[in-house]
């Protein structure tokens, strides 16, 4: 697990070497154990290493036996033992015992198709001296990041945007189109970043740079058209075997592997399987909050006790506001409430282990979100006459007060009411933006000057291109496919990577393993969502390992009572921050719109916590990256703004 950098540019070698060193050292948190560099007349590669496999012999960058291919890689290749055995039998020599070395002979053998043979999480760059070309690739589901930037006839690449910002010729300019999409979708779609000119290599894509030209291409997709035959019990039996095999492969490590344990089905099942596979006294890490409606620690303890695990837990409070500057620094974009939990549990886990397994991906593969069942409910409700829903039920729903709690009744009925006026993919997209900024809400937020800078306003299409794809047929599969191709790589896995690596901790997610994802796509939709029973088939597998009261309780989901905290502990902070809004001063957002959201929330009229969270994060993000205030400066500013 590492941070990697690459430069292919016609600059003076000495200048390029110095720049690459600076870029690479901005990623020290991703790899505190070692650093390595490669330079020749045209290219430079760098790496910061977190030593997991072949601790003493896995130094990078690494070359092949001819010396013509040089690679820097971030990640783990879980099928490397099998690949190494095959390649050695074919006469390919190996220099180390590290898992990533198999990529080089695969590249020699298959060229750009080498990625199709890898099972793992990875982002790598291979410099081909003989061909004067740079090949870069990112894993199937996007667990590991890679960004690149074109400058003149050269290309610069790195694991995080902050390394590319070290290039002096890189002009820091906000990509307003990225802003537009982000505040609706909660993720940055396509190849956008918040910085104009810096691009994200998307999940399941490779890029090839030669002679000043760069080609980017998708190499993998998920096919939902073919389905497993057999009963739900037969499919569940297969699922159990595939998941056990996946967890076993993810244990590849020369250091101890721990696990995040939230108390939910996904992380609990993964942790239990690790214990069943012989991980005695397994270190597991859990966090909770004082508010009972949000706290899952009692459920996590149930799993710890059953398998005699080594449990570590921590209770956190509203002081999380002081974490936001650190989180933004590591994400290079606004933080997310989901990231707070990952950041804190990673901080705790990093004191004990270098590697953890997580339950990320269970909801996206097996239909675990309420909105999956909610879509069907909205379809039934929409059958009532529109005038009845609007004139009678709509007025009654407007009278339901917000409780500012998790999954409040007011939130649910307003969601249902709004969704009933949309159909199919439009309904699904609207459900994703409902609590944030719809297309209409964005028109009210952005000024006319800012709107003129947005080159693509079609945020719904970022999801609909997958929802309406030819390789999916059923409604549930359309929602799952959309999530797996957008929210999974660009939101959940992105946050997991940045928040764990902020503490030099490697996270592994068996439930987004390529083989597991492909298997899950073939499970009939009615075995995932059976009536209103979410994750039906996964629950059957989980019941082999976990108490039924944990599996069949109401889905809780880990979170923080941010809506309440904003009205209490953070009330003054929000008022003071938005009174000095940089985006109002820049002419990007309308002051009256922000003021309305703030007053309606603080007065208890409407719950706008999701919108306010995005806006406050953007304010701090701008100060960090464009005013170049430090994390310490922003934490001091936070203290100041908390004062009346």
SS3 of residue 322 by DSSP? helix
Closest CA to 53 of 255, 279, 251, 246: 255
- What does the angle CA 117 – CA 4 – CA 213 come to, to the nearest 5 degrees? 75
- Enumerate the CATH 3.40.50.620 domain ranges in the chain, comma separated: 232-367+483-551
- Banded model confidence at residue 293, pLDDT cuts 50, 70, 90: low
Q: What is the pLDDT of residues 544-566, one digit of tens each?
A: 999 999 998 876 555 667 888 88
Q: Provide the pLDDT confidence category of residue 612 given band limits of 50, 70 and 90.
A: very high
Give the separation between CA 172 and CA 192, rounded to whole angstroms.
Answer: 14
Q: What is the CATH number of domain 2-218?
A: 3.60.20.10
Separation between Cα atoms, residue 205 and residue 139, nearest integer Å: 8
DSSP string, 460-516: THHHHHHHT-TT--SHHHHHHHHHHHTHIIIIIHHHHHHHHHTTT-EEE-GGG-HHH
Q: Is the separation of the CB atoms in 92 and 84 below 8 Å? A: no
Residues of the chain with CATH 3.60.20.10: 2-218
Catalytic residue set: 2
pLDDT at 408: 73
Give yes or no for residue 300 having a pLDDT over 90. yes
At how many degrees (to 10) do helices 324-331 and 337-349 cross? 90
Chain centroid to CA 436: how far?
18
> Measured at the alpha carbon of residue 238, what is the angle toward residues 232 and 243, in degrees to the nearest 5?
120
Q: Is 270's pLDDT higher than 70?
A: yes
For the residues 608-634, what does the mean pLDDT come to? 95
| pLDDT at position 405 | 62
Gap between the Cα atoms of 644 and 641, Å rounded: 8
pLDDT at 12 over 80: no
Predicted local distance difference test score (pLDDT) of residue 555: 65
Mean pLDDT of 253-264: 94
pLDDT of residue 292: 58
pLDDT at residue number 13:
67
Domain 232-367+483-551 falls in which CATH fold? Answer: Rossmann fold (3.40.50)
Average pLDDT over all residues of the chain: 92
């Amino acid at each position: 697990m590492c941070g990697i950098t690459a430069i292919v540019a016609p600059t003076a070698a000495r200048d390029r070497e110095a720049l690459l060193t600076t870029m690479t050292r901005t990623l020290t948190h991703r790899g505190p154990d070692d650093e390595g560099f490669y330079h020749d007349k045209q290219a430079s590669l760098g790496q910061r290493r977190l030593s997991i496999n072949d601790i003493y012999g896995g130094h990078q960058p690494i070359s092949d036996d001819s010396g013509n291919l040089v690679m820097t890689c971030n990640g783990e290749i879980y099928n490397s033992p099998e690949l190494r055995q095959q390649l050695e039998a074919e006469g390919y020599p190996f220099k180390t015992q590290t898992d990533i070395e198999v990529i080089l002979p695969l590249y020699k053998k298959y060229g750009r198709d080498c990625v199709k043979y890898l099972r793992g999480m990875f982002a790598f760059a291979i410099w081909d001296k003989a061909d004067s070309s740079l090949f870069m690739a990112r894993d199937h589901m996007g667990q590991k990041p890679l960004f690149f930037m074109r400058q003149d006839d050269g290309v610069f690449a790195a694991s995080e945007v902050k390394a590319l910002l070290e290039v002096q010729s890189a002009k820091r300019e906000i990509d307003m189109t990225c802003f537009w999409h982000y505040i609706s979708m909660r993720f940055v779609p396509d190849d956008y970043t918040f910085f104009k000119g810096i691009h994200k290599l998307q999940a399941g894509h490779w890029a090839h740079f030669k002679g000043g030209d760069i080609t980017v291409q998708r190499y993998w997709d998920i096919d939902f058209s073919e389905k497993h035959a057999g009963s739900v019990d037969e499919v569940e039996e297969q699922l159990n075997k595939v998941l056990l095999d996946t967890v076993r492969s993810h244990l590849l490590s020369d250091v101890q592997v721990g696990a995040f344990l939230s108390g939910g089905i996904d992380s609990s099942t993964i942790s239990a399987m690790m214990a069943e596979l012989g991980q005695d006294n397994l270190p597991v890490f859990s966090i909770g909050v004082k508010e009972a409606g949000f706290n899952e620690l009692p459920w996590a303890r149930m799993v710890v006790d059953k398998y005699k695990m080594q449990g570590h837990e921590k209770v956190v409070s509203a002081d999380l506001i002081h974490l936001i500057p650190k989180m933004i620094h590591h994400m290079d974009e606004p933080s997310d409430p989901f990231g707070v939990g990952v950041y804190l549990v990673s901080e705790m886990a990093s004191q004990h282990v270098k590697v953890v397994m997580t339950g990320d991906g269970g909801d996206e593969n097996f239909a675990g979100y309420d909105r999956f069942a909610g879509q069907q409910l909205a379809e039934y409700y929409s059958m009532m006459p529109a005038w009845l829903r609007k004139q009678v039920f709509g007025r009654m729903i407007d009278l339901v007060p917000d409780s500012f709690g998790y999954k409040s009744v007011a939130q649910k009925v307003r969601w249902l009411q709004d969704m009933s006026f949309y159909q199919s993919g439009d309904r699904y997209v609207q459900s994703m933006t409902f609590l944030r900024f719809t297309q209409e809400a964005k028109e009210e937020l952005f000024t006319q000057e800012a709107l003129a800078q947005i080159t693509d306003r079609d945020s719904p299409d970022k999801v609909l291109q997958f929802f309406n794809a030819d390789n999916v047929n059923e409604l549930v599969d359309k929602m799952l496919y959309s999530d797996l191709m957008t929210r999974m790589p660009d939101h959940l896995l992105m946050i997991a990577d940045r928040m764990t690596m902020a503490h030099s901790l490697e996270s592994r997610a068996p439930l987004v393993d390529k083989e597991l994802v492909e298997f899950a796509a073939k499970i009939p939709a009615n075995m995932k969502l059976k009536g209103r029973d979410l994750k039906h088939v996964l629950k059957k597998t989980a019941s082999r390992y976990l108490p039924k009261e944990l599996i069949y309780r109401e889905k809780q989901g880990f979170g923080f009572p941010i809506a309440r905290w904003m009205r209490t502990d953070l009330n003054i902070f929000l008022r003071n921050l938005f009174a000095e809004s940089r985006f109002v001063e820049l002419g990007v957002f309308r002051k009256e719109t922000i003021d309305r959201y703030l007053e309606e929330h603080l007065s208890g009229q409407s719950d706008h916590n999701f919108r306010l969270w995005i806006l406050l994060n953007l304010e701090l993000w701008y100060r960090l990256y464009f005013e170049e205030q430090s994390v310490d400066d922003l934490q001091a500013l936070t203290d100041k703004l908390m004062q009346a």
